[in-house]
């Protein structure tokens, strides 16, 4: 695969390779894509994740949520969306 980057990004990668941060340009680009994949969930993936959680909830034992569990879940969701 050949990828053409804008000049500023190509120069940035070249500097990082020269500084010893990465052994070569392909490794730097691969690391950037890995980082993006880990830290960025798009609408499609988020929808699939939500669907999986709902299916899990349907199949789980029917025990009511405790108020502190709901508060923890809501706090996590608020923090996640505030960070975007």
**pLDDT below 70 — which residues of the chain?**
41-46, 58-59, 61-65, 83-84
Per residue in 12-31, pLDDT (tens digit) is 999 999 999 999 999 999 99
pLDDT at 59: 66
pLDDT at 18: 95
pLDDT at 77: 81
Helices (H), the chain: 7-18, 25-39, 43-59, 67-82
pLDDT at 68: 83
Q: Where are the domains of the chain?
A: 7-39, 43-82
pLDDT at 36: 79
Q: Which backbone phi and psi does 32 adopt, to 5 degrees?
A: -65, -40
The tokens describing 19, both together, are 């500084």
pLDDT at 7: 93
């Amino acid at each position: 695969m050949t990828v053409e980057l804008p000049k500023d990004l190509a120069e940035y990668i070249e500097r990082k390779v020269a500084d010893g941060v990465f052994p070569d340009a392909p490794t730097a680009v691969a690391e950037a894509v890995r980082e993006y994949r880990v830290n960025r969930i798009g609408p499609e993936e988020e929808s699939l994740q939500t669907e999986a959680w709902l299916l899990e909830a349907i199949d789980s034992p029917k025990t009511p949520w405790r108020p502190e569990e709901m508060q923890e879940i809501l706090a996590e969701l608020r923090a996640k969306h505030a960070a975007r």
